[in-house]
Amino acid sequence: MHAAAPRSVSDIPPAGASLPVRDLRQGMVRGARGRCPACGDGAMFASFLKVSPACASCGEDLSAQRADDGPAYLTVLIVSHLVGPLLLVVYMAWQPAPMVMVTGFCAAATLLSLLMLPRIKGGMVGFQWAKRMHGFGDGDPGAPDYDARTFNTRDFDARSPAARPVDAQAATPSPRP
């Protein structure tokens, strides 16, 4: 069983101190099985696709995950690559009626998607945990935080006048001919 996330300021390692490497494969496999990527015992999901805020077994904070639309895109990509060629093979071999094919392949694609989506989301959360992304860094100030909201601040917003130098000549409107 792995140690839980730091609980106080004294538990956070000093800046520049190296943190132990997390096993990427183990984190992703545990996540794909619907288990906590840290300990492998607690359930990751509170419901079908809702990630629990914390592991009930080890207390690992799972609220930092940012899977967003990634699992859905990967699921559609994989399911379409499995079902598409199969559709051609079935048609060439047996030439079933169009409604039989539509019904069968829609049901197969839906079933495959529902089976794969939680596993892909769990694997993605396990990947984020292993790479210490989005707040899974255990309080290490040197850990990368790939949170897109960081770039929406005034300092990074390219549309903000405060973020770019103002050219006085470009700011004055040119007269129309």
> What is the domain range of residue 111?
23-138
Q: Could you give the CA distance from residue 76 to residue 79 in angstroms, rounded to a whole number?
A: 5
For 28-84, write each residue's pLDDT tens digit: 999 999 999 999 999 999 999 999 999 999 999 999 899 999 999 999 999 999 999
pLDDT computed for residue 54 by the predictor: 94
| 168 falls within a domain | no
The beta strand positions in the chain, using DSSP E, are none
pLDDT computed for residue 5 by the predictor: 52
| 132 falls within a domain | yes
Using DSSP's 3-state secondary structure scheme, residue 126 falls into: helix
| 76 falls within a domain | yes
Share of the chain above pLDDT 90, in %: 62
pLDDT computed for residue 12 by the predictor: 55
Which residue has 């005034």 as its token pair? 154
Could you tell me if residue 87 is left (phi over 0), alpha (psi between -120 and 50 degrees) or otherwise beta? alpha
| 34 falls within a domain | yes
18 has a pLDDT exceeding 80: no
pLDDT computed for residue 122 by the predictor: 97
In this structure, of 11-15, 19-23, 56-60, 143-147, the range with the lowest mean pLDDT score is 143-147
| 173 falls within a domain | no
| 14 falls within a domain | no
Q: Could you give the CA distance from residue 110 to residue 117 in angstroms, rounded to a whole number?
A: 11
For 121-143, write each residue's pLDDT tens digit: 999 999 999 999 888 876 555 54
Cα within 13 Å of Cα(46), Cβ side: 9
Task: State how many domains the chain has.
Answer: 1
Q: Could you give the CA distance from residue 104 to residue 56 in angstroms, rounded to a whole number?
A: 40
pLDDT computed for residue 150 by the predictor: 47
| 66 falls within a domain | yes
